[in-house]
Structure 1
Amino acid sequence: MQRYFVEGPVPANGEVQLSGDDARHITKVMRGAPGDRIIIVMEEKAYEAAVESVSPEVTAILQTEITAQVELPVKVTIACGLPKGDKLELITQKATELGMHALLPIEAERSIVKWDASKAEKKTGRLRKIAKEAAEQSHRTHVPHIHTPCSFQALLEHIPSFDAVIVAYEDEARSSDRTRFADTVKRLYDKDSILMVFGPEGGFSEAEVSRLRSAGALFTSLGPRILRAETAPLYALSAFSYEYE
């Protein structure tokens, strides 16, 4: 069954209105009709629902709650340097499928890409749409929040709000006594929220590394190979899934 996310509280009478892109998808793409079954997610809970009417908006009636656990047991926010091209869209889509809780793009000192403030709303809206569609496709109950890109200083200011902060650092990968990511993940079972930080394609500067260490971040290797900017977050989320699920 097709899944749709609807904002707002669960109505007492179970009657839900779907409009905009969701209504168009049901009526034009799915050729929906009264009596069809869909899944509606509200307040991070999924419900089987029956379509009651399809024009001009879609009205559906919530029925049985689906209780299957589909979210990662730990909330992992990905903070990554702005990558070139459409790589941020790829990270958004695939990281959502892998269980990411939120995405925080950052402008670091060596970032090749600079965020165009005049296009910020449009670009962020595009990423949020990608996250929503990926969450529907992967049958999640949470749509990752896509933050507007922030400065490195703003990243540091976010750190106190997390139970743990992990930095994937390429110099660790080159070290003979590197900290294994598997060992790092095993130390986090008592943590509820984790900020996983990845540098830009040019890497973090020495000053940024020093400031992250001073802020209490743990540094780790993702293995002996150097991963691309769009690969590293997906590798890390897969490791969290393997360890916790």
Structure 2
Amino acid sequence: MKHKGNEEMNMQRYFVGDAQWTTDTVMLKGEQAHHISRVMRMSAGDVIICINGQGVAAYCRILQAEPDCITCQVEESLSSDSELPIHITVAQGDLKADKYEWVVQKSTEMGAGSITGFPADHSVVKWDAKKNEKKHARFQKIARESAEQSERLKIPAIERKASLEEVLKEAQQYDHKWILSERSARKDHHHAIDDALRQLQQTDRILLVFGPEGGFSTREHETAIDLGCAPVSLGARILRAETAPVAALALLVYHVELKR
């Protein structure tokens, strides 16, 4: 059976672990099963879209719906690709919880491949190591739900580094490293973003580094440049910490995906 057009647009999407997906059967349990059976009130015969860890998506018809377990038959592969051709990592200095969650959500919607948090000199909040596991699980859940909502095929990796220096010293894998700082905006370096975009290739890996609510310290800004970051401005206006990642990602999406 073919699944096209408006029918596909209305289908719920769920990311599932590889162990849940055999050749022709998918099983969803726990929170996902509850959402399907109790929230969406689906039953046998309904169709959902499932995506595995490799970004393979398929239409799956529900065979059996129980509150704690949904069994589906894999019917047809889904060929659409909603992932960006480039890999983008958003490295974000620690923010207040609600703002950081917003960055995770919106960065996922915009196509980021990974999101890395780190403590910055001017971070208002201090990371409580005892709550690390709980916070990480919360951010992962937000990223998964945002990836499902935006019809992505992959969930961004959620990571954490001990410092800005650790972020940058482990960044040899990137073709481009940009520090997006209000310091660059105040120095009228507004054309640097255009110059940086012109250097991008379709398969490049990009690291975007953003500061906390108080911005980067002089030490951090100079350290980032010493470790290979290009200072980039997003315009003459000083953006909030949680706004800057979305603005930068929007520019990248336009450049690599929408521009003719």
Q: TM-score range by the shorter chain?
A: over 0.9
* Letter of the 2:104 counterpart: T
Query: In the alignment, which residue of structure 2 is the partner of 1:172?
Result: 184
Q: Does 1:54 align with 2:33?
A: no
Alignment deviations for residues 141-193 of structure 1 (CA, whole Å, 9 cap, x no partner): 01111113532232122211222111102121112354432331221125521
Query: In the alignment, which residue of structure 2 is the partner of 1:31?
Result: 41
Match of 1:183, SS? helix
Q: Which runs of 5+ in 1 are unaligned?
A: none
Distance 2:214 2:22 in 1: 52
Match of 2:75, SS? strand
Distance 1:67 1:159 in 2: 32
Q: Report the more deviating stretch, 188-197 or 18-27.
A: 188-197
- Kept after mapping to 2: 8 A contact 1:159/1:215: no
Percent identity, aligned pairs only, is 40
Distance 2:194 2:45 in 1: 48
Query: In the alignment, which residue of structure 2 is the partner of 1:204?
Result: 216
Residue 85 (structure 1) shift: 4.3
Alignment deviations for residues 196-236 of structure 1 (CA, whole Å, 9 cap, x no partner): 00112222222222221121111110111110000000001
Give the CA RMSD over aligned residues.
1.6
Taking the TM superposition and a 5 Å limit, the aligned residue runs for 1:8-157 are 8=18, 11=21, 13-42=23-52, 43-55=54-66, 56-157=68-169
Distance 1:162 1:224 in 2: 27
TM-score by length of 1: 0.94
Q: Does 1:224 align with 2:236?
A: yes
Query: In the alignment, which residue of structure 1 is the partner of 2:253?
Result: 241
**1:149/1:87 CA distance change after superposition, 3 Å:** farther
Q: How many residues align?
A: 245
Match of 1:90, SS? helix
- Kept after mapping to 1: 8 A contact 2:26/2:74: yes
- Kept after mapping to 1: 8 A contact 2:178/2:209: yes
Q: Does 1:195 align with 2:218?
A: no
Q: Report the more deviating stretch, 54-63 or 95-104.
A: 54-63
Match of 1:161, SS? coil
Q: Which runs of 5+ in 2 are unaligned?
A: 1-10
